[in-house]
Every structure is written in structure tokens, then in C-alpha cells.
Amino acid sequence: MALAEFELIREHFQRAGTRADVVLGVGDDCALLTVPAGMQLAVSLDLLVSGVHFLPDVAPEALGWKALAVNLSDLAAMGAEPAWVTLGLTLPAADAGWLAAFCRGFYALAAEHGVELVGGDTTRGPLAIAVQVHGFVAPGAALTRAGARPGDLICVSGTPGFAALGLARCLGRTELPEPLAATALERLERPQPRVALGRALRGLATACIDVSDGLAQDLGHILEASGVGASVEVERVPRPPLADADAALQAALAGGDDYELCFTLPPGRLPGLAAAAAAGGCACSVIGRIEAAPGLRLRRADGSLLPLARGGYEHFG
């Protein structure tokens, strides 16, 4: 790196910090940080590559928001408190206007969650973003994927499927009436990480994951990590209000990029769910039950099984 790049970084990313636990932020070989005494550090690194995770013509402000949102969603899924973020930006060219817009989106969401950018790297290359969040959680309080037990209820926040519709529309694969189209695009481009809900689920949920690759697939990760199976009652799965009922269900079960939380809790804790949903600012729906028999069964109202379509987004293969 040389002068032009250092100045770009300085201009756009070297802002005055607000967190007392950042001893040294952007600008040295490392950031120096203080984790609160007795707390565990939760970290997650995500990659976003142009043409894979976002459309090449996406507005940079939306991209800045989304890059942080998908990463904060991992902290939400662990029930961790967001604290710091590092950012790696690979750009085909140094475009001050693009950077300014990207920063608007990125910092707007960071401010909402009190997250401080503490370091990173910028380089020339095909447009791609690496983001790592760092958060805190008390020992034993984190929501992992491995705690679901037979009998637990399966829940999902919000309404998964909108983002998949938004993407289908951007790709010209579907037409959507307003205001559905606007909602779908907003969910695709500006997902709201369920940080407050994750926080409220500590001590309540036995397992949790964020729905980035599709509800059925991400629930599958809980089942695998917990060594259990599940039945989902498909008519209880919240879905976008599409005229085509099959397409709506398919979007809700297999559509990625919504960043809702899918979690499990014992029936005895169900009374706490309403308070958690209120604290999280979103509806939470019970959609099924954990079972001992391995595998995921999607049950229709008449008891018949819906074939499990190959869902989720596959990067390879």
C-alpha cells in the first residue's frame, strides 16, 4: 500500500472512536482491545463476493449496511453483545464516491448497535468484502447449535422468504406487486440483524442459528449439531403474502439472506417467548418440534410429508 491508499483509508475509516474498550483502533499494526472481565469473546468472519453474495450493481450504501448486517447476525445467533468490527475491502478502483456511500450504510448500522470499526485492510482486486465482528457473552450463556433436545419447540423470527423474492425480482425472474416488491427489496438489501432478539433468547433458547441459507437448511445444521431430528408443520411457517401459495412456502423454507433467527426451546419456557419477541421487536412463530429420529420432516396439515426440495444456496458444486 502507498500514499493514495493510506489517505483513502484515513479519510473514510479513521473516525473518532466511541468505545472505552478500544485501547488502539484503526491505524497501527494491530488494534488493541479490552474484553470485559469474566466475559467470553465471540467472533465471526464472513465473506461477501460480488456476483455470489450480492449483485454487481448493488448500491454501495446498501452493500455497506448488508456487509455488517450479515455479520452481526452471527453474533445475534449466539446471543452475544456486539462490540467491534474489522473490515477488509477489495475494490477494483479507488472511488471516493463509492467509498463514501459504502461508509454511510456501514456506519449507520454500526451506530445502531454501538459497534466500532477497529481495523482492517483495503486492496485492489475484484469487488469483495471480509467482515469480522467481535462481541461478548457470559460463560455458558451463548446460544449454540448443539443444544436442541427432543420435545423442544422450533421457532422462527419474522417472516423468512422476503429476501429471496427481492433477489428473484432483481434478477427479473418474478414480478411483485407493490408494496410487496418494496418490502422484499428492503429485506434483501437492508436486513435487520436480530441482535435484540438473540440477547432476549439467552436462558430461553436451547439452540439458535441465523437463517442465511434458507430455513430448512439452517434448521438442518441445528439438527445435525444437536444429534436430533424434527418435524415442521409447514402451514405454521410464516411466509410472504404471495398469490402463488407454493412459491410463498418455497421462499420461506428455502430462501436465503433473511437473517431471521431459528431457535428451539423447551415447551415449559414457551411463556417467556412473547417477552423475548417483544424485546426483539419482531414476531416469533412456533413452527415445529424437535424429535429423536434424525432428519427433517416437513408435514402438511393433513399429515402427509412435503418432499424436501434441495434448498439453500450452494457456493460450490
- State which of positions 138-177 bind a copy of itself (CB under 8 A): 139, 142, 144-146
Which x/- pattern, by CB under 8 A, does the window 213-242 give for a copy of itself? x---x-------x-----------------
For residue 242, what is its C-alpha cell? 404471495
CA angle, 227 then 215 then 263, to 5°:
55
- Give 147-150's long-range contacts (Cβ < 8 A, gap of 24+): 147/205, 147/206, 147/207, 147/226, 147/264, 148/206, 148/207, 148/222, 148/223, 148/226, 148/228, 148/230, 148/264, 148/290, 149/206, 149/226, 149/228, 149/264, 149/266, 149/290, 150/228, 150/290, 150/291, 150/292
- 316 in contact with a copy of itself (CB under 8 A): yes
Window 82-101: residues binding a copy of itself (CB under 8 A)? 84, 86-91, 93-94
* Closest CB to a copy of itself among residues 163, 208: 208
Contacting residue, 64, 158, 280, 312, with a copy of itself by CB under 8 A:
312
H-helix segments, 113-204: 162-170, 180-189, 195-201
CB of 217 to a copy of itself, least distance (A): 7
CB 155 within 8 A of CB 273: yes
Contacting residue, 173, 243, 271, 315, with a copy of itself by CB under 8 A:
315
- 72 in contact with a copy of itself (CB under 8 A): no
Window 189-218: residues binding a copy of itself (CB under 8 A)? 208-210, 213, 217
Contacting residue, 62, 128, 165, 188, with a copy of itself by CB under 8 A:
128
* Closest CB to a copy of itself among residues 93, 301: 93
CB of 38 to a copy of itself, least distance (A): 8
Q: H or E stretch including 49?
A: strand 40-49
- What is the DSSP secondary structure assignment for residue 87, as one 8-state letter? E
- What is the DSSP secondary structure assignment for residue 40, as one 8-state letter? E
CB of 178 to a copy of itself, least distance (A): 32
- 33 in contact with a copy of itself (CB under 8 A): yes
- 132 in contact with a copy of itself (CB under 8 A): yes
